[in-house]
Amino acid sequence: MRSKKTKFIFVTGGVVSSLGKGLASASIGALLENRGLDITLIKLDPYINVDPGTMSPFQHGEVFVTEDGGETDMDLGHYERFTHARMSRLNNFTSGRIYNAVITKERRGEYLGKTVQVIPHITDEIKASIRQASQDVDVVIVEVGGTVGDIESLPFLEAIRQMRYDVGSQNAVYIHLTLLPYIGAAGEVKTKPTQHSVMKLREIGIQPDFLLCRTDREISRELKDKIAMFCNVDNGNVFTSPDVRSIYELPLELHRQGLDERLAEVLNIWSRAPHLEKWETIVRKIYEPARGEVTIAIVGKYVNLTESYKSLNESLLHGGIANDVRVKLRFVDSQDVEAQGPEAMLGGVDAVLVPGGFGVRGTEGKIAAVRYARENKLPFFGICLGLQMAVVEFSRTVLGLKGANSLEFDEHTPHPVVTLMESQVKVQDKGGTMRLGSYACALKAGTVAQKLYAQDNIQERHRHRYEVNNAYRGRLQEAGLVISGHNPELNLVEMIELSDHPYFVGCQFHPEFKSKPFAPHPLFSGFIGAALAQRDSSRGTTVPATATTTPVRA
């Protein structure tokens, strides 16, 4: 039995996609959490894939990995960054996952004698999934992906329509996010797209209680009243989600408008006044950093869609917050490094980061970027594939192992310094079968990694099939590659570094999944700190003694 009377906030979107439902949901969660409430968030995705793990980053953006190994929508990253709620695979459900669960039950005979239908069986499964993730919290924020009118979304919308009757009207509200476009030729903001979106939502039985209108300008009280009247919403329940310079300003902006107070009133929730000082500090450090700017080159394969590296981009920003410096990101296509050379593509940067990825395309460019950073003593950070490419480069250049490579990219390499994990050899299915989720890592005393974490044992999230080949580990260490972290159970390489380099660190895991603006990850804090030192050294200045690369803790 649930020990608390849980309230539900359902967030839907209309007109167009990419309006920011995920950020709006995360911001609402942050505001309610800061009012002393226990919250969680759920994302319902209409696509048929069981999860986004097999989807191209160009189509879907980043795949966010949870502690329990769930491959989930990137919005769960926003949820974790904005709040203290810990996401799991229970916080993201797709149409594919729901239908798969119902079909599995049908095959087991759980519906014997019944015709399995969208209503009630699919909608009941959706509602059961929401309830399963809603235990022992005060408020659950449920975001429905896609836009109203999409045929794929209809079962989810019907399920959340029913939930108001299940939990009581005083325990559930609907927030609809729409677009208020400014038409330059007419010189005015148009409300008709919002009116039509609400009309479509009402056709399927949902009357929104709140409207959150995405706009690039201030909206008058008169215009809000007009929207309220035509959309049958209370006058005080029309709010705007304006364009902001930083996503971390959105909770402050929504609070300024009184959205959290109005939600608490409508849901009859007793709560304290929110404590938003840490958000104000974060925004100030982003907008007015005391120590200028550093430039980080991200040498990747998916740079034409920066959403592919969403958590990574935000974690670098968090590292900037920890060091009170602005972080400028230069996205460099690794294929351009292959074509034009690293000198042409990486000149003038303060540090180089090589992120994760899959497939052979652009890998030689990543290897060239690693070599450039290593030989020119530029701060380097390699994540997942970035660590593997650093090992390949070191093997080729320092050890002299001609043709050294990863088996992922060359099955006939004479020196497979990166090899398929033993547990992956017989795996046939591609979805959900990688080494996923949180694993232990023991850090070597005296290393950069151990100093940054300030502890000996850590837990980090993984998403990969290949690993550093232990058969070459001894030779790599003899040549100067430091194995600064390993998994004690399987004896797998987790972290590497170079002792004769200002800052050269690689990790097999994805630290970006655990960084928050108010608790920057130590590896990103340290990396940006090293970039700052590199910048000041190249200018002939020194880092002030007051500088810190330690995480900012809430």
Residues of the binding site for UTP:
17, 190-195, 226
Domain with residue 120: its CATH number is 3.40.50.300
Residue 348 has pLDDT above 60, yes or no: yes
Residues of the binding site:
17-23, 75, 143, 150-152, 190-195, 226, 244, 357, 385-388, 408, 465
**Residue appearing with tokens 């070459």:** 472
Residues of the binding site for L-glutamine:
357, 385-388, 408, 465
Side-chain-facing half-sphere of 434: CA atoms under 13 Å: 22
* Average pLDDT value for residue range 257-263: 96
Residue 537 has pLDDT above 50, yes or no: yes
* Average pLDDT value for residue range 152-173: 95
Domain with residue 379: its CATH number is 3.40.50.880
**pLDDT tens-digit readout, 297-332:** 999 887 776 677 899 999 999 999 999 999 999 999
Q: What is the pLDDT of residue 59?
A: 67
Question: String of b and e for 344-373 (b: at least 16 CB within 10 Å)?
Answer: ebbeebbbbbbbbbbeeebbbbbbbbbbbb
Q: Both 307 and 264 in a single domain?
A: no
* Average pLDDT value for residue range 14-37: 93
Other C-beta atoms closer than 10 Å to the C-beta of 420 total 16
Residue type, 170: Q
Q: Both 410 and 311 in a single domain?
A: yes
Distance (Å, whole) CA 522 – CA 552 = 9
> Residue 39 is encoded by which pair of tokens?
């919250």
| Phi, psi of 439, deg, nearest 5 | -135, 155
Residue 61 has pLDDT above 90, yes or no: no
What is the 3-class SS of 90-137, one letter each residue?
HHEEEHHHHHHHHHHHHHHCCCCCCCCCHHHHHHHHHHHHHHHCCCCC
Residue 505 has pLDDT above 80, yes or no: yes
Q: What is the pLDDT of residue 184?
A: 87
Q: Both 207 and 224 in a single domain?
A: yes
Residue 505's nearest CA partner among 370, 344, 322, 308 is 370
Residue 546 has pLDDT above 50, yes or no: no
364 alpha carbon, distance to own chain's centre: 27
**pLDDT tens-digit readout, 399-452:** 999 999 999 899 999 999 999 877 666 665 656 567 889 999 999 999 999 999
Q: What is the pLDDT of residue 62?
A: 86
The verdict on residue 2 lying in a domain is no
* Average pLDDT value for residue range 53-76: 84
> Residue 549 is encoded by which pair of tokens?
């690369």
**Which residue, 237, 261, 281, sits at the end of a domain?**
281
Q: What is the CA radius of gyration of the chain?
A: 25
Whether the CB-CB separation of 67 and 509 falls below 8 Å is answered with no
Residue 43's nearest CA partner among 70, 68, 69 is 70
Tell me the Ramachandran region of residue 15: left when phi exceeds 0, alpha when psi lies from -120 to 50, beta otherwise.
left
**Which residue, 281, 299, 319, sits at the end of a domain?**
281
Distance (Å, whole) CA 502 – CA 221 = 56
Q: Both 262 and 382 in a single domain?
A: no
Q: What is the pLDDT of residue 550?
A: 41
Residue 81 vs residues 41, 66, 258, 318: alpha-carbon distances, Å: 12, 12, 22, 10
Distance (Å, whole) CA 78 – CA 83 = 8
Residue 350 vs residues 312, 357, 455, 533, 547: alpha-carbon distances, Å: 17, 23, 28, 9, 17
**pLDDT tens-digit readout, 102-161:** 999 999 999 988 999 999 999 999 999 999 999 889 999 999 999 998 999 999 999 999
Residue 83's nearest CA partner among 3, 141, 7, 135 is 141
The verdict on residue 543 lying in a domain is no
Active site amino acids: 384, 510, 512
**Residue appearing with tokens 């004769």:** 500
**pLDDT tens-digit readout, 282-301:** 999 999 999 999 999 999 88
- In degrees, rounded to 5, the angle at the alpha carbon of residue 431 between the alpha carbons of residues 427 and 435 is 65
Q: Both 93 and 176 in a single domain?
A: yes
* Average pLDDT value for residue range 346-350: 95
The verdict on residue 544 lying in a domain is no
The verdict on residue 551 lying in a domain is no
Q: Both 276 and 327 in a single domain?
A: no
Whether the CB-CB separation of 27 and 159 falls below 8 Å is answered with no
Number of domains in the chain: 2
Residue 352 has pLDDT above 50, yes or no: yes
117 alpha carbon, distance to own chain's centre: 35
Whether the CB-CB separation of 526 and 500 falls below 8 Å is answered with no
The verdict on residue 550 lying in a domain is no
How much of the chain is helix, strand and coil, in % rounded to 5? 40, 20, 35
Confidence tier at 553 by pLDDT (50, 70, 90)? very low
Over pLDDT 90: what percentage of the chain? 81
Q: Both 66 and 85 in a single domain?
A: yes
Q: Both 269 and 151 in a single domain?
A: yes
The verdict on residue 432 lying in a domain is yes
**Which residue, 223, 257, 281, sits at the end of a domain?**
281
Can you tell me whether residue 105 is helix, strand or coil? helix
The verdict on residue 552 lying in a domain is no
Q: Both 195 and 116 in a single domain?
A: yes
Q: Both 429 and 471 in a single domain?
A: yes
Q: Both 295 and 171 in a single domain?
A: no
389 alpha carbon, distance to own chain's centre: 23
Lowest mean pLDDT among 50-54, 92-96, 121-125, 351-355: 50-54
Side-chain-facing half-sphere of 157: CA atoms under 13 Å: 25
Residue 21's nearest CA partner among 31, 32, 10 is 10
* Average pLDDT value for residue range 246-269: 95
The parent domain of residue 205 ranges over 7-281
The verdict on residue 173 lying in a domain is yes
Whether the CB-CB separation of 460 and 438 falls below 8 Å is answered with yes
> Residue 479 is encoded by which pair of tokens?
């040549």
Q: Both 410 and 447 in a single domain?
A: yes
> Residue 363 is encoded by which pair of tokens?
């890998």
Please, what is the average pLDDT of the chain?
91
**E-only strand ranges, 46-99:** 64-65, 71-72, 92-94
Residue 238 has pLDDT above 70, yes or no: yes
